[in-house]
Amino acid sequence: MILSALKLALSSMRANKVRTGLTVLGMVVGIASVIIVYSAGEGIRGLILSQIESYGTNIIETEIKVPSNKKGAAADTQTGSAIAMGVQITSLTLKDMDDVARLSNIKNAYAMLQDQEEFSYSNEFKKYLVFGVSSEFINIDKAEIDSGRFFEDAEDKTLAQVAVIGPKVKQRLFGDSDPIGKNIKARGKKLIVIGVLKSRGASLGFDMDEIVYLPIRTVQKKIMGVKHVYMMIHELKDVSKAEDTAEQAREIIRQNHEISDPIKDDFRVMTMADMMKTLDTITGAITLLLLAIVTISLVVGGVGILNVMYVVVTERTAEIGLRKAVGASYSDIMWQFIIESILVTIAGGIVGIIIGVLLSFIISIGASSFGLSWRFLIPAKAYIVALTFSFIAGTLFGVFPARKAALLDPVEALRKE
């Protein structure tokens, strides 16, 4: 019975190629969108992962955090603090960094503050992001010096007014001239340029070539007038002990901040594993959101199939009456139209997958041409979702027209001839 229904469905599709093609098209768009969304999700995940890994996998990161008992809080990246109920969270300090750095599994450490200042040289004025960092930043962050040098720990501790600049900062303020040894100004303070970093491109939302690096204590005392830090990075000797080291760091900072209840922590210590979990949560949420939007196009395609199948039933009323008159049962008619609907949606699903893969590949090439670390990968679940939806849509949107056809009275149907 099913084989006979399959032959009839294929015969009908071949006899109405234009109608079949237009019906398939609606499903193709939706299925191709599903493939692209899953591929983009993997591409975004790979892009962020490559940027996280550029900082090294052997680190733990500590940053300010609003305690769970603080409502209505927000991070202020300009001052390197968090604001909760009008109160700034500014308790993370250089002492915390130094105390954690004494742990046996810690190799190096640096702290960081963020600010934005207007810098000037001669008649050039431009606002740039400021990273106030410890001297070990250059070693842990894998940044490379193009000319000059990075500042030393002694310069940080003595509040030296020195600066290391990104290549775009150098080009904007100094052009083709050598900036080493020259002074730039910020908030009326003269800062001697002692180094220029090699180009690093964009990372985690920052253009790393448009940043001015200053000793963190200089930023604290002479630029921002604060005592806290925004975050700190500790480099591990043994990555396998990362979670144990992170827990030891939490205990040390809680003692420094006089916190007894972990719920009241005003900081967050994360290992690379924690960062990966956060990354997976974010990319998963983005993918689901996009899929929810794509579902609309899939439903539209399914409704299109429903409408076409109703038209098919109307056009073939006489044929249905004849088949029933010569003995075709209710189930024979049902299977004929359901299988035809399923074939249309499966065909749309297959063509949609092919087009989706091709477009995803083109997107990956385009992203790579802009210097993004965008990997071309389509997870197996994307194909499963696409084909499953095609089958379900074909069955669901084919049942109602098929039932209408199967319930036709053969005498009444033959009168339509």
Residue 19 has a pLDDT of: 67
Strand, coil or helix: 110 = strand
pTM: predicted TM-score of the whole model, two decimal places: 0.64
Q: What is the mean pLDDT of residues 29-49?
A: 83
- 333 with 320: CB under 8 angstroms? yes
Identify the residue whose tokens are 């996280």: 52
- The better pLDDT of the pair 204, 368 is held by 368
- pLDDT tens per residue, range 276-323: 787 778 778 877 887 787 777 777 777 777 777 777 677 667 777 777
Residue 154 has a pLDDT of: 95
Mean pLDDT of the chain: 81
- 91 with 257: CB under 8 angstroms? yes
- pLDDT tens per residue, range 184-236: 999 889 999 999 999 887 766 678 899 999 999 999 999 999 999 999 999 99
What is the bridge-based pairing of β-strands 189-197 and 183-186?
Answer: antiparallel
* Nearest alpha carbon to residue 297 among 402, 399, 400, 386: 386
Residue 74 has a pLDDT of: 47
Q: How far is CA 213 from CA 7, 133, 196, 324, in A?
A: 73, 7, 10, 84
Q: What is the mean pLDDT of residues 19-42?
A: 81
* Cβ neighbours of 87 (radius 10 Å): 12
- The better pLDDT of the pair 364, 336 is held by 364
- pLDDT tens per residue, range 48-70: 777 666 666 788 999 888 766 55
Q: Spell out the domain ranges in the chain.
A: 2-51+278-414, 66-265
- 220 with 226: CB under 8 angstroms? yes
Please give the radius of gyration of the chain, using alpha carbons only, rounded to the nearest integer: 32
Quickly list DSSP for 218-253: HIIIIII--S--SEEEEEES-GGGHHHHHHHHHHHH
Angle between helices 272-315 and 380-406 (to 10 degrees): 20
- pLDDT tens per residue, range 140-170: 887 899 999 999 999 999 999 999 999 999 9
Q: What is the mean pLDDT of residues 112-121?
A: 91
- Decide if pLDDT at 106 tops 80: yes
Whole-number Å distance between alpha carbons of 163 and 182: 10
Whole-number Å distance between alpha carbons of 322 and 311: 18
